[in-house]
Amino acid sequence: MTLSNKHILIGISGGIAAYKIPELIRLLVKAGAEVRVATTRNALQFVTETTLQTLSGHSVYSDVFASINAHATEHISLPEWCDAMIVAPATANVLAKTAAGIADDALTTTICSCITRKPILFAPAMNDKMWENPATRQAIKTIRSWENVRVIEPEEGPLACGTCGKGRMPEPEELCEAVHYLLEPQSLAGQRILITAGGTQEKIDPVRFISNYSTGKMGLALAHACARRGADVTLVCGAVSAPLYDPFGRIHRVDALSAQAMYEACTDLWPQMNKAILCAAVADFAPANEATQKIKKDSGVRSQESGLTLSLKETQDIARALGETKRADQQLVGFALETEHEKENALHKMERKNLDAIVLNSLRDKGAGFGTDTNLVTILQSDGKETPLPLQSKELISAEILRVLFS
């Protein structure tokens, strides 16, 4: 699911991390959401009302008694309007007030009205000493105990005061991902899902390897989609260049750069999993012998006339190994990237490797395949069902794959 037609309310309190919120608004709007903003008066010392209004397209609610408010009780109407609220940054002051039920300004009255009705996310940000304050810790404990509330932990790193510690608000991309978690149905809660992503690297010598063009975007999109729906995801990664966002620790990353390392990780993990989606571009062949030192032009291994000859060996087949040991209560999904006889090759692969389904795409389709943000696929199932999906973002493709195969 995207955030299309969703109403997101952002509450900003008076912390330096408020400077990140314009980018969060931009990301939410790009994802299809309509955004409105409520702030404390102090928040507007860090980010201007004009900036927030321009990016959101709505006036900012910062004064309970302002004549420009659309409603006399804006703190009631905004929670009625929104699908979810995020308070970012959430200062120690706002956290303490929220925990105590104090509502004495535009933001805290809005929180007080929203907190029993809509999902709400707090993103604390403050100095590390303030984060460690017993009153702050108690406020966090109290807020976390409430049914509709999630708290995203602050990060460790350099702080505005010049020290280094825990208290940094996560980046806007991480907060945007957390909003998805608030709104997605938890249809995969309790499920353990193995996903592979990225290309493998097969070493020739200490400085060279054989690989492919995979960036891991499709695999990471699938990991995000599963985690948003409540799954416990184990992501076995080859070489990936796409970012991974995991605001609530549902994605456990295992790095496995070579085909052999990925094979060992997957076969070890598979017995504990309910489902697996094998999206990685795993090498079919690897150098038979890895040189221990860099191969040089004048090393005697090659000649100017004949060039360098590499002997290759087949790598172990991950999909086949998992298919051979698949239990009746497990689902196994593969991917097939083909350049000719696409459907025939994909169906043969699904049958040969005992897959429940295979997702087929072709390098001949413009906008699909390696390195793109979009994909065009057909989902083929072992029971004969066939679901073609149009060209769209890999995020939307991932959501559709889960809907078709795991609903």
Q: What is the CATH number of the domain that holds 65?
A: 3.40.50.1950
Q: How confident is the model at residue 151 (pLDDT cuts 50, 70, 90)?
A: very high
> Do 100 and 123 fall within a single domain?
yes
Please give the residue range of the domain that contains residue 227.
192-406
Q: What is the mean pLDDT of the chain?
A: 93
* Percent residues over pLDDT 90 in the chain: 84
Is 2 within a domain? no
The encoded tokens of residue 34 equal: 């309509």
> Do 234 and 163 fall within a single domain?
no
> Do 132 and 262 fall within a single domain?
no
Is 14 within a domain? yes
Q: Give the pLDDT of residue 308.
A: 78
Q: What is the pLDDT of residues 193-246, one digit of tens each?
A: 999 999 999 999 999 999 999 999 999 999 999 999 999 999 999 999 989 999
> Do 282 and 328 fall within a single domain?
yes
Q: Is the pLDDT of residue 165 over 90?
A: no
Which amino acid belongs to residue 159?
Answer: L
Q: What is the mean pLDDT of residues 319-337?
A: 97
**Which of 159, 183, 207 is at the close of a domain?**
183
Q: How confident is the model at residue 265 (pLDDT cuts 50, 70, 90)?
A: very high
> Do 101 and 228 fall within a single domain?
no
Is 380 within a domain? yes
Q: How confident is the model at residue 164 (pLDDT cuts 50, 70, 90)?
A: confident
> Do 82 and 162 fall within a single domain?
yes
Number of compact structural domains in the chain: 2
Is 238 within a domain? yes
Is 1 within a domain? no
Sequence-distant (≥ 6) Cβ neighbours of residue 73 within 8 angstroms: none
Q: Is the pLDDT of residue 3 over 60?
A: yes
> Do 61 and 167 fall within a single domain?
yes
What is the chain's alpha carbon radius of gyration, rounded to the nearest angstrom? 25
> Do 153 and 297 fall within a single domain?
no
**Which of 151, 183, 215 is at the close of a domain?**
183
Q: What is the pLDDT of residues 243-256, one digit of tens each?
A: 999 999 999 999 99
Q: Is the pLDDT of residue 305 over 70?
A: no
**Which of 140, 166, 183 is at the close of a domain?**
183
CA 104 to chain centre: 36
Q: What is the pLDDT of residues 47-58, one digit of tens each?
A: 999 999 999 999
Q: Give the pLDDT of residue 368.
A: 79
CATH no. for residue 335? Answer: 3.40.50.10300
Distance between CA atoms of residues 30 and 340, nearest Å: 36
**Strand 155-158 vs strand 202-205: parallel, antiparallel, or unpaired?**
unpaired
Is 112 within a domain? yes
> Do 281 and 388 fall within a single domain?
yes
**Strand 357-362 vs strand 374-381: parallel, antiparallel, or unpaired?**
antiparallel
Q: Which helix (H) or strand (E) holds 195?
A: strand 192-197
> Do 15 and 154 fall within a single domain?
yes
Q: What is the DSSP string of 56-95?
A: HSS--B--TT-TT-SSTTHHHHHHHH-SEEEEEEE-HHHH
Q: How confident is the model at residue 69 (pLDDT cuts 50, 70, 90)?
A: low
Q: Which residues are the active-site residues?
A: 161
> Do 296 and 389 fall within a single domain?
yes
Q: What are phi and psi of 367, to 5 degrees?
A: 90, 0
> Do 159 and 205 fall within a single domain?
no
Q: How confident is the model at residue 146 (pLDDT cuts 50, 70, 90)?
A: very high
Assessment of whether the complete model's pTM goes beyond 0.85: yes
Q: Give the pLDDT of residue 64.
A: 83
